[in-house]
Amino acid sequence: MDIKTPKGRQTLADEAKAASLFSTVYPQFTYCQTPKDAPATVDAILVQDGEIRAVVETKCRYDMTFVQLLVEREAQYLISFRKILTGQVVSKHLGVPFLIFVYLVPQDILIVTKITDDSGEIVCKMQVTERLTQRTVNGGTIRKTVALIDMENSKVLRRTTNERV
Q: What number does CATH give the domain 2-73+87-122+154-164?
A: 3.40.1350
- State the Cα–Cα distance between residues 125 and 113, nearest whole angstrom: 10
> Tell me, what's the pLDDT at 165?
47
Tens of pLDDT along 63-105?
888 888 888 878 889 999 999 999 999 999 999 999 999 999 9
How far apart, in whole angstroms, are the C-alpha atoms of residue 70 and residue 55?
Answer: 25
Amino acid in position 77? Y
| pLDDT tens figures, 3-32 | 678 787 888 899 999 999 999 999 999 999
- Model's pTM, two decimal places? 0.88
What residue segments make up the domains of the chain, in order of their start? 2-73+87-122+154-164
Instruction: Report angle CA 60, 6, 40 to the nearest 5 degrees.
Output: 55
Distance, CA of 149 to CA of 47 (rounded, Å): 25
